[in-house]
Structure 1
Amino acid sequence: MAWPTHQSEERTWNPRQRQGSRADRTLERIIVSIPPRIGELEYDPTGPLARAHEAAVIAIARLEAGFGEHLAPLADFLLRSESVASSKIEHIDAGWRAFGKAVAGGKASEEAQSQLAAVRALNAMVDAAGSGAIGLDDLLRAHRLLMAVDYYTARDAGQFRDVQNWIGGSDYTPIHAAYVPPPPELVSELIADLLVFVNRDDLPILAQAAIAHAQFESIHPFTDGNGRIGRALISAVLRRRGLTRRMTVPLASVMLADTSRYFMHLNRFREGDADGFVEYLAVGATHASEAAQDSGMALADLPTRWRDIARPRAKSADEALIAALLDTPIFNADTAQQITGTTDPSTYRALGRLTDAGILELLSDNKRNRIWAATDVLAELDTLSAAIGRRTTGHL
């Protein structure tokens, strides 16, 4: 259906200092994009698009109904999977071992800490959405959580940009940029309008989430972190509308599988093709939900597999640890002892046996904070992302 295009305006370029090439230093005028106000617009998909939208809603509902009540650990697993994939789109990839260290509070790389911050931001957005309307404070709080790990980005955390930003092109000016968002003085008004759209209940759910994300990326309200917060907004809309209650649809893995296609659809949205972006997200949601169900079944089978390998004695420390691994796949020695309820020597012997059996891996041998992880659970993060990639690249 028809959707308004972004408009363009010429603005004076007033940099704080002249840097870069001669073209950068002599730039005086730029063209910025002005997204339309969408708060009160109607959107009703029809024909094949409506069917794709319906299929996605059914797939998400099946994921929620099949595992939301019966496999609680899958909720945390999918939340982490979505956050890690969203970070990878921004070229932040620590690997699951480093990420595991960060989760357990160990010494970890900046990239791992950044990925963990993305988990916290997404969790905050989704939790807030489950309690009612998505508000400005929710967006700003999520951004503060995301940016808190870096001293330089933390200075701008939780507040809208007061400078002109751009995507692609030069490091110094918007010259040759792929996209130039609206000027900073329009950001607050555009976000307020977007939140009106986000909190409506008379729109098709997945279409609402897709358009909200594309509009947020077009506004680009922050100096950094726009992609990760914008993708978290998709999950927040699905939670606010009640389509999900516990599960997080791993849509970032769809986007990660072919980022050029993702960015192409965002650009087309700005040209008025909302249908294309809605269909892209709907088809991706179907494949992501189906792959997530496969991961859910794989995770559910793991405790039996672990018991077959380790053959723990009943009521032993080994058995207690195996029973807790889906809920707590990453842990330190203190947590292990809380799980087993036994003495240090008994707990460490059990940890050693499960590590020798290949069920656990020692991620950090720091004497003050040893960290173990259930290898199969963390490896499934990569398996899920790869499975979504295989499903989506041939169909989107």
Structure 2
Amino acid sequence: MTNWPAHSRRVVPWTSTSRRGTREDRTLAAVTVSIPPMIADADVPAIAERDLARARYEAADLERVADGVLSPLAGFLIRMESVASSRIEHVEASPIAFARAIGGLKENTSAMSMVAAGAAITKLIDASSLVITLDEILAAHQALMQDDPDVAERPYAGRVRDVQNWIGGSQYSPRGALYVPPPPEEVPALLEDLIVFANRDDVEPVTQAAIAHAHFESIHPFTDGNGRIGRALIGAILRRRGVTPHTVLPVASALAADTTHYFSLLTAYRAGNVEPIVTDLALCVETAAREARGTARAFAQYEDAWREQASPRAGSAADRILPVLLTMPVFTVEQLVDEVQDIPERSVYRGVQVLEEARVVEAVTDRKRDRTYAAMDVLDEFEDLDARIRERITRLRALGAEYWKQNPRVAVWY
């Protein structure tokens, strides 16, 4: 077990503000909260250096392989990360529903939440190239929660909580909760301390991202959206430290493959064992990067494959639309007209029709006005990449679990 400051525990008064729930909920008078340690200047142990080096190498190799398609790949991977991160919170939608939501249509609440998660991830990662700030974290949370289906949560968008929250247990009180974060009055100082840690340059980057994520989840600074913002923080740190200067690794797909395992990593961290979350994130980074290389290679071939499939006349609107589909795989004709401004609107309509007839794009809405289209090859890759990551990480974790069973003194988190 790696030496790391464990969370302390404290009993604090609790007064119910709701008349709902059981008698035990209404009469609960005290609750034991968990207090994360201050880590801004903590000594970070060297852990699994080979695994971490391999993770950084695979991330760098992804950017090398994806050199010609970095921009569209980055947009794709952010959407991929938003889908997987949302799934951990039990927010799921079909690829078509997600496509409609991306196109700006009102869809089911899950699809809309996934799009909001993508906006939040983008905002935080794009702003973090030099330094991560509380304002940027709050702005990302605002983007995530401002249109939340739960109207009661919207006033808390972009705001640090001023109430006690908890995970699991009763809906009406912390009775029987799996984890109770620190009281609200302690959150600002804990966040300030965490942000100092997240901006250090003397900690191995993947280790830093893993610890910062686990610590953020332990502080649980928001009334809702903590998991999605906390996982976006992983991407922000990897971007700031130069591990992923142009892409975003869909590590949430790997984490979502076994949520029980993921939550056990956070529990181990709170007990003072930092090694499990670090080594697992290294495995997630390595796996996500390796499988995303396959997506990068597919992206590099799509345009030629589409051109062969549709046989557009050289220089025609359909021919000129094809390269745009990688960066805008879901679109309305009006959005496409704005993107390719030097092509007359009527020609764009005709070009989309040619590509639809060739089944390069498909309409994902039935209405005639403001119809939304999608490049289905790109949408299909969402599910393919997610499946590849989940299968690979499950296999690798199983191999690791077998090793730890045979060597119980090495680690205890499996």
TM-score bin (small chain):
over 0.9
Distance in 1 separating the partners of 2:343 and 2:181: 58
Distance 1:304 1:149 in 2: 39
Give the deviation of 1:85 after TM superposition. 0.9
1:72 matched residue in structure 2: 71
* Structure 2 CA distance for partners of 1:389 and 1:303, relative to 1, 3 Å: same
Most deviating of 183-192 and 107-116: 107-116
What residue is the counterpart of 1:5 in the other structure?
Answer: 6
8 A Cα contact 2:69 2:299, kept in partner? no
Identity among equivalent pairs (%): 45
Q: Which residue number in structure 2 is paired with residue 385 of structure 1?
A: 386
Alignment match, 1:122? 121
Q: Is the Cα contact below 8 Å between 1:325 and 1:374 reproduced in 2?
A: yes
- 2: CA distance between counterparts of 1:25 and 1:336? 56
In structure 2, the partner of 1:312 is: 312
Distance 2:131 2:348 in 1: 46
Aligned amino acid, residue 30 of structure 1: V
Equivalent position of 1:147 in the other structure: 145
Deviation at residue 114 of structure 1 after TM alignment: 1.3
Cα distance between partner residues in 1 of 2:242 and 2:344: 45
SS at match of 1:358: coil
Which whole-Å deviations, capped at 9, do the CAs of 1:180-223 have from their partners, x for residues lacking one? Answer: 11111110011011011001000000000000000000000000
* Distance in 2 between residues matched to 1:205 and 1:256, nearest whole Å: 22
Q: How does 1:34-45 map to 2 (within 5 A)?
A: 34-45=35-46
The Cα shift of 1:327 comes to 1.8
Relative to structure 2, which stretch is displaced further, 336-345 or 271-280? 336-345
Q: 1:359-378, CA deviations, whole angstroms, 9 ceiling, x for partnerless residues?
A: 11101233331111100101
- C-alpha distance in structure 2 between counterparts of 1:71 and 1:239, whole Å: 14
Amino acid at match of 1:357: A
- Which residue of 2 is the match for residue 89 of structure 1? 88
Whether the aligned pair in 2 keeps the contact of 1:5 and 1:35 (CA below 8 Å) is: yes
Counterpart-to-counterpart distance in 2, 1:158 and 1:50: 37
Letter in 2 for 1:304: D
How many residues in Structure 1 have an aligned counterpart in Structure 2?
393
8 Å Cα contact 2:217/2:226 also seen in 1: yes
SS of residue paired to 2:9: strand
CA distance in 1, matches of 2:343, 2:279: 54
Q: How far apart, in 2, do the equivalents of 1:386 and 1:75 lie? A: 19
CA distance in 2, matches of 1:336, 1:57: 37
CA RMSD of aligned residues (A): 1.5
- CA distance in 2 between counterparts of 1:26 and 1:13 reads 9
Q: Which amino acid aligns with 1:372?
A: Y
- What is the alpha-carbon distance in structure 2 between the residues aligned to residue 274 and residue 95 of structure 1? 36
Deviations 1:206-242 (A, max 9, x none): 0000000000000000000000000000000011112
Q: Which amino acid in the other structure matches residue 273 of structure 1?
A: N
Q: CA deviation at 1:267?
A: 0.6
- Amino acid aligned to 1:365: D
Structure 1 stretch displaced more, 19-28 or 278-287: 19-28
Contact 1:83 1:118 in 2 (8 A): yes
Q: TM-score normalized by structure 2?
A: 0.91
Q: Which amino acid aligns with 2:135?
A: D
2:223 corresponding residue in structure 1 = 223
Unaligned runs of 5+ residues in structure 1 are none
Q: Is the CA contact (8 Å cut-off) linking 2:70 and 2:246 kept in structure 1?
A: no
2:177 alignment counterpart: 177
CA drift at 1:117: 1.1
The C-alpha deviation readout for 1:257-305, integer Å capped at 9, x for no partner, is: 1111101111111111101110010011101110011111112111121
Distance (Å, rounded) in 2 between the aligned partners of 1:54 and 1:216: 24
Aligned partner of 1:284 in structure 2 is 284
Structure 1 residues 139 and 169 mapped into 2: Cα distance closer, same or farther (>3 Å)? Answer: same
Equivalence map 1:48-63=2 (5 Å): 49-63=48-62
SS at match of 2:169: coil
Q: Is the 8 A contact 1:359 1:374 kept in 2?
A: yes
Change (3 A) 1:354 1:340: farther
Cα distance in structure 1, aligned partners of 2:272 and 2:396: 23
Q: TM-score scaled to structure 1, two decimals?
A: 0.95
Contact 1:35 1:218 in 2 (8 A): yes
- Separation in structure 2 between the aligned mates of residue 393 and residue 15 of structure 1, nearest angstrom: 42
Q: What per-residue deviation string (whole Å, max 9, x for no partner) do you get for residues 295-331 of structure 1?
A: 1111211112112211111111221122221122111
Equivalent-residue separation in structure 1 for 2:4 and 2:135 (angstroms): 29
The DSSP-based 3-state class of the residue aligned with 1:326 is: helix
Deviations 1:52-76 (A, max 9, x none): 1111111111112322564321010
Render the CA deviation track for 1:326-362: whole Å, top value 9, x for unaligned.
1221111123345385555543333223223221110
Instruction: Letter of the 2:370 partner, please give it.
Output: N
SS at match of 1:364: coil
Say if 1:98 and 1:112, in contact at 8 Å, map to a contact too.
Answer: yes
Task: Specify the alignment match of 1:301 in structure 2.
Answer: 301
Q: How does 1:145-294 map to 2 (within 5 A)?
A: 145-150=143-148, 151-294=151-294
Structure 1 residue ranges (4+ consecutive) displaced by more than 6 angstroms after TM superposition: none
CA–CA distance in structure 1, aligned partners of residues 315 and 372 of structure 2:
23
Whether the aligned pair in 2 keeps the contact of 1:160 and 1:222 (CA below 8 Å) is: yes
Q: For 1:354 and 1:61, how far apart are their aligned partners in 2?
A: 35
- 2:132 equivalent in structure 1: 134
Contact 1:68–1:75 under 8 Å retained in 2: no
